[in-house]
Amino acid sequence: MKTLKNHYCFILFLLAMCLHPVFSLAQYYDPQQQVQNNMEKKYSDPQRQKGRDAIHKQTYENDKRYKDPTNKIQATIVYEDKELNKRGDTKKTTREKMVFGKNGECMVMNEGDKAEMWMIYNYADKANYIVNVKDKSATKMPLINMQKILGSGDDGSGTSFTERWVDTGIKQNINGHDCEKFTYTYSSNSRYSTMDAWVSPDVKLSLGNDYMFGERLNQYKLHASTKNKALMDGFMIRTIFYDKKNRPALQRDLTEFDKTADEKYFDMSPFKVTDIINGL
């Protein structure tokens, strides 16, 4: 086994398997309340101030993890998500975007919709921001490093994701890309049973030296499966998620791909920013 040299598939794997639930949760997540609730559970009244002081000591200017906050490559990846009904017809279409900027990444949810939100990792600020575009508001919080959660490369069950892929050998041109179909079986996902991934080697981009979820992509250790080399070297052009009754529930298509990034997604000056640390 070896660490993957190409991160094309892994990046799209994260987007397909992790960002969809992240997007959903971010729309309902109140980070300040969550921190306060955690403190209520962890600290009694006499100890609560010690808890606050401990959090302050670990944040922002005291965070020494990101001496070099820059991404080496800028890129924008755009997806169209189609939520499907039980008959397989499109129930809702949304546009999602991943922007790799100079000092971080931004996940854009429901772009162009009244519910548009951004989830930002800014390594220069050493902070996460959750932005409500309509309300012109943003919540700032200490930077979360998800490498420990995602670095093992599994779906939460403890089994490496490379062990659950099957190469069907089926080939098809999708959105102008020559693709090969792979299937993935979830073991413990509450929403999905399987996923189809149409993978193409056509899209070329090396983001290994860029950050994602608090760690440079080339630091995520994934074990390559020798029988799935085509999967590891490709980019997911289309993914289809199946529900527990094996009905297609969500289709995600790669629709745009650009080797540039709009830095507006990292400029907080248009927004009223609330720092959760100040509210503790």
From CA 112, how far away is CA 28, in angstroms rounded? 19
Per-residue model confidence as pLDDT tens digits over 226-261? 455 556 567 889 999 999 999 999 999 999 988 999
* Encoded tokens for 133: 């575009």
Q: Token pair 């001496």 is at which residue?
A: 67
So what's the pLDDT on residue 255?
92
Alpha-carbon gap, residue 26 to 200, rounded angstroms? 30
The boundaries of the domain holding residue 134 are 8-279
| pLDDT above 50: residue 200 | yes
Cα separation, 273 vs 125, in Å, equals 13
**CATH assignment at residue 168:** 2.50.20.10
pLDDT of residue 233: 67
pLDDT at 123: 94
Residue 128's region, left for phi above 0, alpha for psi from -120 to 50, else beta, is: beta
Whole-angstrom distance, CA of residue 62 vs CA of residue 66: 11
Burial code of 33-70, b = ≥16 C-beta within 10 A, e = fewer? Answer: eebeeeeeeeeeeeeeeebeeebeeebeeeeeebeeee
Bridge partners for 257 per DSSP: 77
- Give yes or no for a contact between 227 and 168, defined as CB atoms under 8 angstroms apart: no
Residue 23 lies in a domain: yes
* 157, 159, 162, 166 alpha-carbon torsion, rounded to 10°: -70
Mean pLDDT value across residues 20-47: 47
Per-residue pLDDT tens for 135-157?
999 999 888 755 444 444 444 44
Task: Inform me whether the pLDDT recorded for 97 exceeds 50.
Answer: yes
- Residue 111's DSSP bridge partners are none
* 196 lies in some domain: yes
pTM score of the predicted model: 0.78
**pLDDT confidence band for 55 (50 / 70 / 90):** low
Q: Is the pLDDT of residue 3 over 70?
A: no
How far is residue 10's CA from residue 231's CA, in Å, rounded to a whole number? Answer: 9
- At residue 62 the predicted structure's pLDDT band, cuts being 50, 70 and 90, is confident
Q: Which structure tokens are listed for 42? A: 């962890």
Q: Is residue 228 one of the residues assigned to a domain?
A: yes
pLDDT bin (cut points 50, 70, 90) of residue 202 is confident
**What is the DSSP pairing of strand 104-109 with strand 117-122?**
antiparallel
Q: Per DSSP, what are the bridge partners of residue 140?
A: 129, 275
Task: Specify the residue for token string 């012109």.
Answer: 136
Total number of domains in the chain = 1
Query: Cα(186)–Cα(260) distance, rounded to whole angstroms?
Result: 34
Percent of the chain with pLDDT over 90: 40
Residue 3 lies in a domain: no
User: Is 1 among the domain residues?
Assistant: no
CA dist list (Å): 16 to 13, 35, 38, 80: 5, 28, 29, 12
Q: What φ, ψ does residue 166 adopt, rounded to 5°?
A: -125, 130
Check if the beta carbon of residue 131 is closer than 8 Å to that of residue 271: yes
Residue the block writes with tokens 């002081």? 53
